[in-house]
Amino acid sequence: MTSTAFQKVYTKLTQITKATCTVKATGVGFDELATVSGRLAQVVKIMDDSVTLQIFSGTEGIATDAEVVFFGRPPTLKVSDDLAGRFFNAYGDPIDGGPAVQGREVEIGGPSVNPVRREEPSELIATGIAGIDLNNTLVTGQKIPFFADPDQPYNQVMATVALRTHADKIILGGMGLSNDDFLFYKDTFENAGMIDKIISFINTTDDPPVERLLVPDMALTAAEYFAIEKNEKVLVLLTDLTLYCDALSIVSNRMDQIPSKDSMPGSLYSDLAKIYEKAVQFPAGGSITIVAVTTISGGDITHAIPDNTGYITEGNLYLRRDTDIGKVVIDPARSLSRLKTKVMGKKTREDHPKVMEASVRLNADATRARTKMENGFELTDYDERALAFAKDYANDILAIDVNVGTDEMLDITWGLLQKYFTVEEVAIQDDLIQKYWKKA
Amino acid sequence: MTTGIVTGIIANLVHVEVDGPVAQNEICYIDLDGVKLKAEVIKVQGNIAYTQVFESTRGLKPGSPVEFTQRMLEAKLGPGMLSKIYDGLQDDLHKMEGLFLNRGEYTDPLDEDSTWDFTPIAKEGDNVIAGDWLGEVPENWIPHKIMVPFSMDGKYKIKSIAAKGNYKLTDTIATLEDEDGGLHEVSMVQYWPVKLPIRAYKEKPRPFKMMETGVRTIDTLNPIAEGGTGFTPGPFGTGKTVLQHSISQNAEADLIIFAACGERANEVVELFVEFPKLDDPRTGRKLMERTIIICNTSNMPVAAREASVYTAMTIAEYYRSMGLKVLLLADSTSRWAQALREMSNRMEELPGPDAYPMDLPAIISNFYSRNGYVYLNNGTPGSVTFIGAVSPAGGNLKEPVTEATKKTARCFYALSQDRADSKRYPAVDPIESYSKYLEYEEVQEYLNNNISPTWVSDVYEAKDILLRGKEAGDQINILGDDGVPLVYHQRLWKSELLDRIILQQDGFDKVDKSTPMKRQCYMLELVLKICRYDFEFESFEEVQPYFTTMINAMRQMNYLEFQTDRFKEYETRLNEIVEERRAK
């Protein structure tokens, strides 16, 4: 991003903090971009002729006589079909050695969609992962995060979701991604031969943290271009939003704002909602679906970040390492997709909702049996069967390396139900039993 | 008219240097290169007015001109509001152009060119005061009263009133003469500042009637009174919104006003899409015909979110003044409180608990006190019942918004994570929740007269069964199944029976989703009859299967139309099961 001609240069900084600086200037607009000693910055406060700027890459080495040049516009992204297949940094500049993208320049973080112009989300997104498709089906226009501990393989799962879905475009917004993980995504996408469907905006841990604040807006501006102008189904992957929130708290702290819960800014809910609410189904067929990662600490979902996220998103998915089978599974008890009822049994086979309910319930019985066992109480025959069922269920269905179609998932589950339980225990309505319960 | 210029901008807080008098809460328009941004004065210091802008301030520069209006934020009230979808500032969302909400675009809440079939109620020479009915027009199925504007203080005499006929919304339908002989023309439209309560009524008695919601765990166990207040705090995923939607579909109200305040847009879309299709169980009309939606979703500007609950309340009070039974639902009041927090923070006020403003409890209780059952000037009753959802941070009910609301709302419906996790919906915790109205003598009298003579004592008996069941369950968990007396298992399963048959309700089943009071009474008495029996068991292992068969039979009854043959078949079956082990 370079400046254009005839710009006034200011050189009198009156205040410098770790993330912001203040300069005497006039004629500056709120949210406007600027450079301070060549570093990109954005206006966050104007008080008379004092303009406070948030410098994305930090203020290390900035002097009180640094040159400040204002752009006269907020951050923008040039959008066109040429975005496809490219890697960009948080400012939208290419980092893959390719040429700059030509296209229409649009402001990022634009206005919200009029609610009455939205369509009800109703199209299924198949991922091949049974823990999602069978138990927590995703729908276009949905927004859903993985709540994962940092040691869990959430990036692998996200990449798997990206590879298996039939989205027209996949946009990756990486915030505080380690360089290793960035290379993992890059290699995975390249090896899968689908690189031209993918657009990436990447801020790695090598980059300054405050830059991350631009990533979601960049990714979603690109998503809106494809969803609105090309009527495409766009899947946006954002990882890791906890690191985004950390950057928010750094900036608000430097601006002397009073922190609310867990040192997060009081506006955290609105800040996150602005991102997630970009998920939308348009009447013309285009859609933006957001799958995000929020890393949590020790499974604590009462922390301000997962808590606010949970109130905004349409469900949440949890990963769990199942020690019985030694694999990572999508936890059926805690995960929830709020929009699943819009497609289950409507866009999928009729028995889907009931099979899902029955297997989740019986799996919960196994959890209870396990607690009983651990507390030294005697197990009944039913408990033993439930435990055996749970093991097979985890291995054949929940494990994230299982990759089958929804009908097949249902057939596998029917098989397991029949293997371990009686018709009464399964308690699915008669007409479905007639049809799917194989006569011995 | 006072004008000013912008001197400072911190997100949506804008400082304006003014050249004349300004009032607290006065509305002004900030000119951003020709686009007028609506803003409200929230603090004045010297000649600097602190304003909260209802739009994004991106690109705004110091020196931009500002015009003050000498008016507060007002709702525009008149026929044509039913079925509309408004944003927090009462802009008609359907009238907005384009896919996106463009800032500075404000639309008419009413249809300026519409005509209405007016029938006078008052006549020439009548003495009237604010809120008195001059006439009525049919709006959908509601006889929409045209009233003396609430803002007209003092006494008036009707100088002239329009004859029956079709009139445009803005036509003069009456001329009123004040005590000094001044003349005032009145049309079907009036304005009212949303942050002030409408007090055009004679008296506000204690609520004494019950308001049916069709949700058993509310109606049976902790009923809300017509004109009462209630709130539903709960962590995410416990079904706050589903419960609110279910109440909005089934409640026995003339009019539902739904304020979607800072919540998910897709949930509001569900309302727009479903309500025009769903039938109102009481009138057979479409639900949308009795509904007004105020929608300020979480990504819409935060100051307008704060305004949205007031806009909704003002519209509710307006319809109450027509003698209607209005139910106002707000999802969620925590988002409103957070909007207050964001502004308080930007104004660098000293914070209260969790960085919320110090006066949060006062703001919340003032708002809740605007609801109520009233007798209008002509003696007709009207009511606004309010149920607000609260989203406590981290599911912790000790946080400031929940605590402040608990001090003022009379019904507390705590949604519990445990119940949600075990799929016991609605997840209202029967032990934690309460209704203060159940203690009101006038409510008790109403319930005993209208439901059954022993209703109130039956309800308390049910509460005791639940409490005893919980205690027994806790003991069993600690001491093991065979470590407790057999009777504990019976206690546990009696409470389980009550829980599964009365409290749990399938919101997606066409019969079970809403239960009329008569049926609730029948089922509660049936369950209590069983609970009063003593049963004979040899060992604890027999208890669960036995009660499960009873529960299954009664569940089937819940899914069937009341008192049909199949319903009675299951009841007969149930009685047989009961007799198997009943201690004679």
Among A116, A221, A271, A429, the strongest candidate for a mutation testing the B interface, having the largest count of B CBs within 10 A, is A116
The DSSP call for residue B397 is T
Where is A14: in which H helix or E strand?
A: strand A13-16
Q: What is the pLDDT of residues B117-167, one digit of tens each?
A: 999 999 999 999 999 999 999 998 899 999 999 999 999 999 999 999 999
B343 has a pLDDT exceeding 70: yes
Phi-psi region of A176 (alpha: psi -120 to 50; beta: other; left: phi over 0): left
Report A:154-213 residues touching B (Cβ under 8 A).
none
CA distance B57 to chain A (A): 7
Is the pTM here over 0.90, yes or no?
Answer: yes
CB contacts of B338 in chain A (<8 Å) are 266-267, 269-270
pLDDT band of residue A6 (cuts 50, 70, 90) is low
| Chain B contact present for A49, CB below 8 A | yes
Across the interface, whether the CB atoms of A112 and B295 are under 8 A apart is answered no
The verdict on a CB contact (< 8 Å) between B338 and A117 is no
Using DSSP, state whether A65 is helix, strand or coil: coil
CATH number of the domain where residue B46 is located = 2.40.30.20
My answer on whether B169 and B241 are in the same domain is no
Helix B517-532 crosses helix B455-479 at what angle (to 10 degrees)? 50
Residue of A270, A302, A307 with shortest CB distance to B302: A270
Q: Answer whether A119 touches B (CB < 8 Å).
A: yes
For B186-234, the pLDDT digits (tens) are 999 999 999 999 999 999 999 999 999 999 999 999 999 999 999 999 9
Q: Cβ of A297 under 8 Å from any chain B Cβ?
A: no
B543 and B407 in one domain? no
Give just the sign of the alpha carbon dihedral A338, A339, A341, A345: negative
pLDDT given for residue B332 in this prediction:
87
Residues of chain A contacting B423 with CB distance shorter than 8 Å: 361
Given an 8 Å threshold on Cβ–Cβ distance, is B355 in contact with A121? no
The architecture that CATH gives domain A84-107+140-313 is 3-Layer(aba) Sandwich (3.40)
Mutate to test the interface with A, among B266, B344, B346 (most CBs of A within 10 A): B266
CB < 8 Å to B101, chain A: 111-114
Q: Residue B543's pLDDT is what?
A: 92
**B559 strand-pairing partners:** none
Q: How many contiguous H segments (helices) and E segments (strands) does chain A have? A: 12, 21
- On whether any CB of chain B is under 8 Å from the CB of A112, the answer is yes
Q: Is B200 inside any structural domain?
A: no
Q: Assign B173 a pLDDT band (cuts: 50, 70, 90).
A: very high
Searching chain B, which residue's CA lies closest to the CA of residue A275?
B299
Q: In whole angstroms, how large is the CA radius of gyration of chain B? A: 27
What's the whole-number mean pLDDT along residues B303-308?
91
User: Do both B497 and B355 map to the same domain?
Assistant: no
Helix (H) / strand (E) containing B270: helix B265-274
Q: Is residue B132 part of a domain?
A: yes
| Nearest residue of chain A to residue B61 (CA atoms) | A29
Residues B399 and B310 in one domain: yes
| Residue among A32, A121, A311 minimizing CB distance to B266 | A121
**Is B46 contained in some domain?**
yes
**In B, which residues are within 8 Å of A107 by CB distance?**
58
pLDDT reading at A194 higher than 90: no
Averaged pLDDT score across all residues of chain A: 90
Residue of B236, B346, B542 best to disrupt the A interface, most CBs of A under 10 A: B236
- pLDDT of residue A188 exceeding 60, the answer is yes
Query: Is B441 within the bounds of a domain?
Result: no
From the CB of residue B508, how many other CB atoms can be counted at a distance below 10 Å? 11
User: What is the extent of the structural domain holding B225?
Assistant: 212-435
- What average pLDDT does range B437-458 have in this prediction? 96
Q: Is the dihedral of CA B213, B218, B220, B223 positive or negative?
A: negative
CB contact under 8 A, A333 and B60: no
For residue range B245-270, list pLDDT tens digits in order: 889 988 999 999 999 999 899 989 98
- What percentage of residues in chain A have a pLDDT greater than 70? 98
Q: Judge if B424 and B560 occupy the same domain.
A: no
Is A378 in the B-facing interface, judged by CB distances under 8 Å? no
**Hey, is B171 helix, strand or coil?**
coil
Q: Are B500 and B387 in a shared domain?
A: no
Cα separation, A180 vs A184, in Å, equals 6
Q: Which ranges in chain A are annotated with CATH 3.40.50.12240?
A: 84-107+140-313
Does A314 reach chain B within 8 Å, measured CB to CB? yes
ipTM of the complex: 0.88
Domain identity same for B519 and B548:
yes
Cis ω before B426 (30° cut-off from 0): yes
Residue A7: how many other CB atoms lie within 10 Å:
14
B356, B342, B374, B262: which is closest to B308 by C-alpha? Answer: B262
Alpha-carbon gap: A191 to the closest alpha carbon of chain B (Å) = 36
Residue A234 token pair: 């766009």
Which of A114, A120, A341 faces B273 most closely, judged by CB atoms?
A: A120
Q: Identify all chain A residues contacting B9, using CB atoms and an 8 Å cutoff.
A: 30, 45-46
| Of the partner residues B58, B270, B422, the one whose CB lies closest to the CB of residue A30 | B58
DSSP assignment of A133-178 equals HTTS-EETT-EEEEEE-TTS-HHHHHHHHHHHS--SEEEEEEEEE-
In this complex, is the C-beta atom of A282 within 8 Å of any C-beta atom belonging to chain B?
yes
Cα separations (Å) of B529 from B190, B489, B551, B552, B579?
56, 18, 14, 17, 12
Q: Which residues of B touch A22 (CB under 8 A)?
A: none
Domain shared by B62 and B82, yes or no: no
Decide if A131 contacts A397 (C-beta within 8 A): yes
- In tens, the pLDDT along B149-159 reads 999 999 999 99
**Residue B199 located in a structural domain:** no
**DSSP E strand stretches across A178-222:** 198-204
Q: Is residue B178 part of a domain?
A: yes
Q: What is the mean pLDDT of residues A176-182?
A: 92
Place of tokens 């309505």: A429
> Taking CB atoms and an 8 Å limit, are A277 and B61 in contact across chains?
no
| Among the listed residues A327, A398, A328, the one whose alpha carbon sits nearest the alpha carbon of residue A362 | A398
- pLDDT at residue A43, rounded to an integer: 94
Q: How far is A365 from chain B (nearest CA, A)?
A: 11
Smallest CA–CA distance, residue A345 to chain B, in Å, is 14
How many Å apart are CA A439 and CA B391, to the nearest integer? 49
Domain count, chain B: 4
Q: Is B443 exposed, middle or buried (0-12, 13-18, 19+ CB in 10 A)?
A: buried
CATH code of the domain covering residue B527 = 1.10.1140.10
- A346 interface with B at CB cutoff 8 Å: no
Locate the chain A residue with the closest alpha carbon to B93.
Answer: A116
**CATH code at B120?**
2.40.50.100
pLDDT in tens, A197-212: 999 999 999 888 889 9
Residue B169: DSSP 8-state: T
Nearest 5°: the CA angle B6, B8, B11 is 110
In this structure, how many other beta carbons lie within 10 angstroms of the beta carbon of residue B126? Answer: 15
Q: What is the 3-state secondary structure (H, E, C) of A265-328?
A: CCCHHHHHHHHHCCCEECCCCCEEEEEEEEECCCCCCCCHHHHHHHHHCCEEEEEEEECCCCEE
A405 and chain B: CB distance < 8 Å anywhere? no
CATH 2.40.30.20 occupies which residues in chain A? Answer: 9-70
Asked if the Cβ–Cβ distance from A277 to B62 is below 8 Å, we say no
Kindly list the residues from chain B whose CB atom is less than 8 angstroms away from the CB atom of residue A333. Answer: 421
Q: What is the pLDDT at residue A1?
A: 46
| A159-163, B93-97, B526-530, B572-576: least confident range | A159-163
B552 vs B401, higher pLDDT: B401
CATH number at residue B397: 3.40.50.300
Q: Are residues B265 and B339 in the same domain?
A: yes
A262 CA: distance to closest CA in chain B (Å): 9
**A284 near B CB under 8 A:** no
CB B91 within 8 A of CB B55: no
Residues of B in contact with A258 (CB under 8 A): 345, 351, 355
- Whether residue A437 lies within 8 A of chain B, CB to CB, comes out as no
Per-residue model confidence (pLDDT) at position A3: 47
Instruction: Give the 3-state secondary structure of residue B188.
Output: coil
| A45, A114, A364 member nearest B100 (Cβ) | A114
Let me know whether B36 and B153 are in one domain. Answer: no
Would residue B58 count as lying in a domain? yes
Going by pLDDT thresholds of 50, 70 and 90, the confidence category of residue A4 is low
| Record: contact B8-A48, CB cut-off 8 A | yes
Through-space distance between the first and last CA atoms of chain A, rounded to whole angstroms: 70
List, for residues B508-565, the tens digit of each pLDDT value.
Answer: 788 998 999 999 999 999 999 999 999 999 998 899 889 989 998 998 899 999 999 9
- The count of other CB atoms within 10 Å of the CB of residue A422 is 11
- CATH architecture of the domain covering A9-70: Beta Barrel (2.40)
Interface residue of A267, A336, A339, A375 to substitute, partner B, most B CBs within 10 Å: A267
Pair (B529, B503) in one structural domain: yes
Does B545 reside within a domain? Answer: yes
| Mean pLDDT rounded to a whole number for chain B | 93
The verdict on whether omega for the bond into residue A240 sits within 30 degrees of 0, i.e. cis, is yes
